[in-house]
Amino acid sequence: MLILGRFSKLFELLGKIGAFFTVALIGIIYFNNGVVHFIGADTLRVMTIIKEYAVLFTLVLVGLSVASKRGLIIFVVWCVLAALAIGFSFPAIINLFK
């Protein structure tokens, strides 16, 4: 429990940083699509793919932060659920290239 508690601070910090950049990226994409079209189509496609990964990354880090405070069993269950979410997200991301 003590080791997981130490990692909780790291997960929390990375989650906050990830959340900030994810919200900023989503704001830039929506602003570009709604108000001013200043980003090219190829760059926008890459930014959309990065957005998909960033949302997943942020959710996993925040979940790890919460789970690491609860105990080993909940932490392991969360890691399994996060691995499933990451594994099943790849087909959705690959479809963006089609």
**Number of independent structural domains in the chain:** 1
Least confident of 2-6, 44-48, 58-62, 70-74: 2-6
Whole-model pTM?
Answer: 0.75
The mean pLDDT value for 33-52 works out to 88
Q: How many Cα atoms occupy the beta-carbon half-sphere of 26 within 13 Å?
A: 12
**Domain housing 72:** 2-97
Neighbours of 22 (CB within 10 A): 19
pLDDT tens-digit series, residues 16-31? 999 999 999 999 999 9
